[in-house]
Chains A and B, each alone.
Chain A
Amino acid sequence: MTDLALELRDVTRVHGSGPTAVTALHRVNLKVAPGRLVAVMGPSGSGKSTLLQLAGGLDTPSEGDVVVEGRRLGDLSRAGLAELRRRSVGYVFQDLNLIPALTAVENVALPRELDGVKLAQAREDAMAALTDIGVADLAKRFPDEMSGGQQQRVAIARALVGPRRLLLADEPTGALDSNTGEAVLRTIRARCDAGAAGVLVTHEARHAAWADEIVFLRDGRVVDETGTLGAPDSLLEGAQ
């Protein structure tokens, strides 16, 4: 299924062994196509963040397969996995992780530079990513010169700079007020509408509602999921 950006096939993750073993995820299946945003909801300890770490190759499943853009992560060498993480996957965390000593454009260019792209090209890619997100005017600012919402949007630009088309976001609105959080979600939604694939981990239903599909986890298992929506006008028809 090379047309999927991300697929989890019967993925189980067990921490520890023997009587103290803890199953963080149990036989989870997930498919994310380009242009789609999938939200993962669940209480603390339900396995949301484990799922995201497995999807991004930061952790390895005990059983099952994680497939990113048609490549089974289990088949990749350590170097191959590192390359895939750099080139295919972008992360946005609750902690912004912008480097304080670098400007916005330098922060966004960094993954490209680490990927061996020449400085001028890396800066050009970074400016393109900032422009796409609508924050090109922040390019020369340092993180401490930006609001939380602005920093988070720069972090999204960094996550999607260059050819990376899979966005993994872990509670990206956690520290932000309601309106700023909504602006960040609008940005993620717009990136997915423009062709990126996204997985959004959140415990807030109002944020998950920006996704095309929502998966509910409890104790490491998928207990519920919503499918593709119909036309939104059906809401108003229902009200009448």
Chain B
Amino acid sequence: MSIKYGLLALLEREPMYGYQLRTEFERSTGATWPLNIGQVYTTLSRLHRDGLVAETGEADDQGKVVYQLTDAGRVELERWFTTPVTQDARPRDELAIKIALAVTTPGVDARAVVQAQRTATVRHLQELTRLKTRADDNADTAWLLVLDSMLFRAEAEVRWLDHSETRLARLEPPPAAAPRAPVTPHQQEARR
């Protein structure tokens, strides 16, 4: 997803100026996607060039330019909402590639790599869950939806890691060589 659609969606609510868009964007996504103001203004100028937003012609009290959605912008936004996100739009999965390489690289204990990753992912899940317990069920719906999405993705990763571990366990025992597995910050601390 580009910032473009985020800004179009916010402008569908009401006309806004750049800094306001940045603040509302971060509020809606629970600050999981921080924007710098430069990105906002660059995107706004492209949207303006493409006729998707227009200046209202009114500056606010401090002289900031206020933008509104055009009809073309509204059509573009509707198209985005009604088009499913495609799987191949996602970046390459570094974790899957790492585990695949761990299995085929001599001297690497792939099961240790899986375990270390699972510990890290489960800790991430715990952190997300704690953020969720702090949220207000009624006031923070958008933030809770983003958190749930992150929780379900992390859970899926743990399930895949469990599945991978079981698959690896059916293979030969891990090599006797010292495992070259990643070490989580917690494990490092525990070893001190």
**A interface residues with partner B (beta carbon < 8 Å):** 41, 43, 186, 189, 204-206, 208-211, 214, 216, 218, 223-227, 229, 232, 234-236, 239-240
Contacts and interface: CB of A to CB of B under 8 A. Distances in A.
Contact of A206 (B123, B130, B152, B189): B152
Given A189-B133, A209-B128, A232-B131, A226 B151 contact: no
A216 B165 CA distance: 12
B119 interface: yes
Given A206-B129, A227-B186, A239-B34, 15 more contacts: A204-B155, A206-B125, A206-B151, A206-B154, A208-B125, A209-B126, A216-B115, A216-B118, A223-B115, A226-B122, A227-B190, A229-B130, A232-B131, A232-B134, A235-B124
A224 B127 CA distance: 18
Contacts of B121: 205
14 contacts: A43-B162, A205-B121, A205-B125, A205-B155, A205-B158, A206-B125, A208-B125, A214-B122, A218-B165, A223-B115, A224-B118, A225-B119, A236-B31, A236-B32
Nearest to A233: B131
Contacts of B189: 227
A171 to B, nearest CB: 16
B34 A229 contact: no
Contacts of A235: 124, 127-128, 131
A232 B123 CA distance: 10
A204 B133 CA distance: 18
Nearest to B166: A43
Interface string B113-146: 0010011011111111111011000000000000
Contacts of A224: 115, 118-119
A100 B5 CA distance: 54
Contacts of B158: 205
B47 to A, nearest CB: 25
A54 B102 CA distance: 37
B159 interface: yes
A224 B154 CA distance: 18
Is the interface on chain B under 10, 10 to 19, 20 to 34, or 35 or more residues?
Answer: 20 to 34
B127 A229 contact: yes
Q: Please name the 7 residue pairs, one residue from A and one from B, whose CB atoms are nearest each other, closest first.
A: A209-B125, A205-B158, A232-B130, A209-B129, A206-B155, A235-B127, A209-B126
Which of A204, A224, A234 is the most central at the interface, judged by chain B CB atoms within 10 Å of its CB?
A224
Contacts of A209: 122, 125-126, 128-129, 151
A216 B161 CA distance: 13
Contacts of B166: 43
Contacts of B123: 226, 229
Contacts of B169: 218
Nearest to A211: B126
B136 to A, nearest CB: 14
A216 to B, nearest CB: 7
Contacts of B155: 204-206
Given A43-B166, A186-B133, A214 B190 contact: no
A234 B34 contact: no
A4 B156 CA distance: 34
